[in-house]
Structure 1
Amino acid sequence: LEQSAEYLHEHNPQSSREFVQEVYDLTNLLKTNPAMGRPGRIFGTRELVLNKFPYLIPYRVKNNCIEILRIFPTRMSQPEFW
């Protein structure tokens, strides 16, 4: 999150704040609805898609715990694992 926010801040400080807020809002919703993301491309994961920015947030649910795996810019090639 920090790296992506810093990158955006260099180009547009307002975008950086909006990005951080959107990530916070979406991940906060996971507390009450862990299945809200679409099924992930990697088995056992789910993905949140940001609305305003080209980023994915892959995550998984293990033992009633939500594990955020990454905040991933969609312009990059997706790795085989998170």
Structure 2
Amino acid sequence: MSYTSILSTLVSAQVQNSAIESTRQAYRDIDAVHDYIARDNPIAAQGVLDKIEAMIDHLPRNPALGRAGRVMRTRELVVPSVPYIVVYSLEEEFIDILAIIHTARRWPVRFRRSQHG
């Protein structure tokens, strides 16, 4: 799978009537993951993106795959063997990918406070 492949997965995927959509932040996050790792090892960068994409691909068939999120109305999908979490929400008609966060980083301010509504 290519770098652009994961971006297209984030844009939309149609599997069993559950669409995957993503925020601009998710795009920025995946770009940052790729760019950071690719500086030292482009092949490893692609491998990490492939693992993230593979986990996202499971969501339409199993939207509750991730654990309950730290922030209200979110879920967190831990990506095995890489230090990343896919933060997403279950909307009425689609799964919304909100962010891709490295496990060693502090959570962004927008995710630290409980979100009501």
TM-score higher than 0.5: yes
From 41, 45, 49, the equivalent of 1:16 is 45
How far does residue 11 in structure 1 lie from its aligned partner after superposition? 1.6
Consecutive unaligned residues in structure 2, runs of 5 or more: 1-29, 112-117
The CA deviation at 1:26 is: 0.5
Matched, 1:67 2:67: no
Match of 2:64 among 35, 43, 56: 35
Choose 1 or 2 for highest CA Rg: 2
User: Using the alignment, how far apart are the partners of 2:109 and 2:63 within structure 1?
Assistant: 23
The CA deviation at 1:79 is 2.7
Q: Which has the higher contact order (CA 8 A, sep 6+)?
A: 2
TM-score norm. by structure 2 comes to 0.65
Question: Helix, strand or coil: the match of 2:54?
Answer: helix
In terms of fraction of residues, the more helix-rich structure is: 2
Query: Can you list the C-alpha shifts for 1:6-39, whole angstroms capped at 9, x where unaligned?
Result: 1111122221111110111110110111000011
Q: What is the rounded CA distance, in whole Å, between the counterparts of 2:108 and 2:49 in structure 1? A: 23
SS at match of 2:55: helix
Q: Shift of the alpha carbon at 1:80? A: 4.3
Given the alignment, which residue of 36, 56, 68 partners 1:7? 36
TM-score by length of structure 1 reads 0.91
- Displaced runs of 4+ in structure 1, greater than 3 A? none
Q: Percent same amino acid at aligned positions?
A: 30
Root mean square deviation of aligned Cα: 1.2
Q: Which structure 1 residue ranges, 5 or more long, are not aligned?
A: none
